[in-house]
C-alpha cells in the first residue's frame, strides 16, 4: 500500500469559459467538481497505475462530505482514511480560458484544525505509515496545524522504516527537508525560495545538502532535474506538449513515488514521472492523465546525465 497525505484537501471546481475578461460577466460552458488537493490527485494517478492506495488528511463540513462521496464513487480504488474535523474543507476554483488555454486559480485557506484533531490525525498516520511501502506528504498546511507538521510526519515515517516523498513549499518545506525525507520535489519557484538561488543545478544540490536524500526539481515544460546519491540526471519530454498544466506536478510525484515503491533505478523513475506529467497536460482535469499519450511518450523521454 502507498499512503498519500493531504492535510488541506479540497473540492476542486473547474469552470471553462470561451474567454476570460477581467471586470466582465462570463457564461460558463462546462463545470466539473471532484475531490482535490495535491495528495488526492497523486492518489488518483497511483490508482490508475494499478497501485493500492490509501489517502488520509482532514475532511469536514458539507464540502468534506462531497469529497468523500466523490472518492467513493469516482475513485473507488483509493481507500478513504481521512480524519474528520469540525471546520469545512476548502474549495479551489480554476477558470480555464478556452481560447488561450490559460488557467486562473483561486484557493481558499482551509479549515482551522484543533489540537485534538491534530492529535487524532497523528495516531491514524502512525498506524498507516507503519504498513505503507511509501508515503507522499503533499500540499499546504491548513490553519491550526503546526508549521513543523511535515517534519514531524517525516520523522514518524522514517522511524517506521517507510520512505517519504515531501512536496510542499515555504517554511513547511524548509522544516520538512531538515527531517531528512527520502525525496523532495520542489518546482523552480519553491526551490529558489528554499535556497535563495535561481540557478536550478546549484540550488538543487543545495537543497539536498539541507537534508533530503534526493531532490527532483520540476523545470516546467523542460522536464525534471534530479540530484541523488547515485548521480545527477535531467529528463525531458521529446516535444512540447500543449494543454492545461494543472495537476502535472502531482502526476510527476505519483510517477516518482510509484517507481520508488517498485525500486526502479533513477533514469526509469524520471522517465515515468516526465511521461505522466506531460500526459496530464493533455487532460482536461487535474489528477487525470491521457493513457495513450503516456504510453507513447515513455520510450521517447530524454534522460541525460548531469
**What's the chain's Rg over C-alpha atoms?**
18
Residues with Cβ within 8 Å of 292's Cβ and at least 6 positions away in sequence, in order, are: none
Given 3-state DSSP classes, what are the helix, strand and coil percentages for the chain, each rounded to the nearest 5? 40, 25, 35
- Is 167 one of the catalytic residues? no
Residues 6+ apart with CB under 8 A from 256: 165, 183, 185, 216, 269, 270, 272, 273
Residue pair 86/111 in contact (Cβ under 8 Å)? The answer is yes
User: What Cα–Cα distance (Å) separates residue 135 from each residue in 7, 146, 280?
Assistant: 13, 19, 22
Single out the catalytic residue among 12, 80, 97, 250: 250
Structure-block grid coordinates of residue 133: 511501502
CA dihedral angle for residue 114, residue 80, residue 252, residue 188, rounded to 10 degrees: -10
Could you tell me the three cell numbers for 104?
486562473
Q: How far apart are CA 306 and CA 26, in angstroms?
A: 47
> In DSSP terms, which residues pair with 215 in a beta bridge?
184, 227
In this structure, the number of other CB atoms found within 10 A of the CB of residue 295 comes to 11
Q: Return the H-helix or E-strand segment holding 289.
A: none
Contact indicator for 60, 87 with CB cutoff of 8 Å: yes
Instruction: Give the integer Cα–Cα distance in Å for 180 and 88.
Output: 32
Catalytic residues: 250
Amino acid at each position: 500500500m502507498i499512503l498519500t497525505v493531504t492535510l488541506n484537501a479540497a473540492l476542486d471546481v473547474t469552470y471553462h469559459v470561451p474567454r476570460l475578461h477581467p471586470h466582465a460577466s462570463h457564461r460558463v460552458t462546462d463545470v466539473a467538481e471532484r475531490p482535490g488537493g495535491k495528495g488526492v490527485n497523486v492518489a488518483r494517478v497511483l490508482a490508475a497505475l494499478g497501485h493500492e492506495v490509501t489517502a488520509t488528511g482532514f475532511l469536514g463540513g458539507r464540502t468534506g462530505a462531497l469529497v468523500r462521496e466523490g472518492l467513493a464513487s469516482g475513485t473507488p480504488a483509493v481507500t478513504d482514511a481521512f480524519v474528520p474535523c469540525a471546520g469545512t474543507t476548502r474549495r479551489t476554483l480554476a477558470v480555464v480560458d478556452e481560447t488561450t488555454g490559460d488557467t486562473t486559480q483561486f484557493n481558499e485557506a482551509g479549515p482551522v484544525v484543533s489540537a485534538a484533531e491534530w492529535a487524532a490525525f497523528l495516531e491514524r498516520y502512525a498506524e498507516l505509515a507503519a504498513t505503507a511501502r511509501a508515503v507522499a506528504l503533499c500540499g499546504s498546511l491548513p490553519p491550526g496545524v503546526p508549521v513543523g507538521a511535515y517534519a514531524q510526519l517525516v520523522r514518524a515515517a522514517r522511524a517506521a522504516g517507510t520512505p517519504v516523498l515531501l512536496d510542499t513549499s515555504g517554511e513547511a518545506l524548509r522544516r520538512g527537508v531538515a527531517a531528512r525525507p527520502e525525496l523532495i520535489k520542489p518546482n523552480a519557484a519553491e526551490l529558489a525560495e528554499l535556497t535563495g538561488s535561481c540557478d536550478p543545478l546549484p540550488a538543487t544540490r543545495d537543497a539536498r545538502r539541507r537534508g533530503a536524500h534526493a531532490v527532483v526539481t520540476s523545470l516546467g515544460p523542460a522536464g525534471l532535474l534530479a540530484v541523488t546519491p547515485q548521480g545527477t540526471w535531467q529528463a525531458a519530454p521529446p516535444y512540447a506538449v500543449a494543454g492545461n498544466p494543472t495537476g502535472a506536478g502531482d502526476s510527476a510525484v505519483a510517477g516518482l513515488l510509484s517507481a520508488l515503491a517498485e525500486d526502479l533505478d533513477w533514469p526509469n523513475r524520471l522517465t515515468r514521472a516526465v511521461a505522466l506529467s506531460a500526459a496530464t497536460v493533455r487532460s482536461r482535469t487535474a489528477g487525470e492523465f491521457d493513457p495513450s499519450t503516456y504510453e507513447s511518450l515513455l520510450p521517447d523521454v530524454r534522460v541525460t546525465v548531469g
